[in-house]
Chain A
Amino acid sequence: DAGVIQSPRHEVTEMGQEVTLRCKPISGHNSLFWYRQTMMRGLELLIYFNNNVPIDDSGMPEDRFSAKMPNASFSTLKIQPSEPRDSAVYFCASSLGFGGSGNTIYFGEGSWLTVV
């Protein structure tokens, strides 16, 4: 299995530009999570989907952030407009099932975003 695939791995962009991060979950997994990791705040859950439907987006910091999951094999996290404080590592993760006790969460390698 290829694991959770994220792109781009690294992105440097100027303040005000739109950023789109992409994620392909593990085939067959029906829960998908977007996390953000910074030194100051650690690992934060932004949003998660179950069967392509957003379940909880309470972690999305502002209206500048949006996430979609048009099908079971693809999700995007968009930041528009981007700001320097958005600089972080953004992780996508997936798991089989929803809330089940035995469902391991698998992480991608992350998208390292720098907004200058």
Chain B
Amino acid sequence: KQEVTQIPAALSVPEGENLVLNCSFTDSAIYNLQWFRQDPGKGLTSLLLIQSSQREQTSGRLNASLDKSSGRSTLYIAASQPGDSATYLCAVRIPNAGKSTFGDGTTLTVKP
């Protein structure tokens, strides 16, 4: 059974700092890994999707990497801003099943 873990559960940083969020998974046989952002009272917004054949994806100040062999993904946020404050979740999609397994998320607070 695929298990997804995100550590730490919460992170607080000053504005402008570069930071890394971690996601680990137990089974390397995945189809893709997706990073989401969730604001309080809102749904999940997709940030980046990394296919199993890829090593990283970039969008603006965000960079996500994938290392299947070690069962890890990182989400790098450059020059953090208060507007980046949210909960970030990663989800691993498994083959031949269509469904994803989610981590519990990391709640990020960026202080002005």
Contacts and interface: CB of A to CB of B under 8 A. Distances in A.
A48 B98 contact: yes
B105 A56 contact: no
Nearest to B96: A99
Contacts, number: 64
Contacts of A83: none
Interface residues of A, number: 25
Contact of A55 (B43, B44, B98): B98
Contact of A91 (B43, B46, B49, B51): B43
17 contacts: A42-B102, A42-B104, A45-B100, A45-B101, A48-B98, A55-B98, A101-B51, A101-B93, A102-B51, A103-B32, A104-B49, A105-B91, A107-B36, A107-B43, A107-B45, A110-B42, A110-B43
Interface in A54-105: 55-56, 91, 93, 98-105
B53 to A, nearest CB: 7
Contacts of B64: none
A66 to B, nearest CB: 19
Interface of B: 31-32, 34, 36, 42-46, 49, 51-53, 89, 91, 93, 95-105
B9 to A, nearest CB: 11
B24 to A, nearest CB: 15
A21 to B, nearest CB: 14
B105 A42 contact: yes
B37 to A, nearest CB: 11
A104 B98 contact: no
Interface of A: 4, 31, 33, 42-43, 45, 48, 50, 55-56, 91, 93, 98-110
A102 B36 CA distance: 15
A100 B34 contact: no
Contacts of B100: 45, 105
A99 B89 contact: no
A106 B52 contact: no
A94 to B, nearest CB: 11
A104 B46 contact: yes
A108 B43 contact: yes
Contacts of A109: 42-43
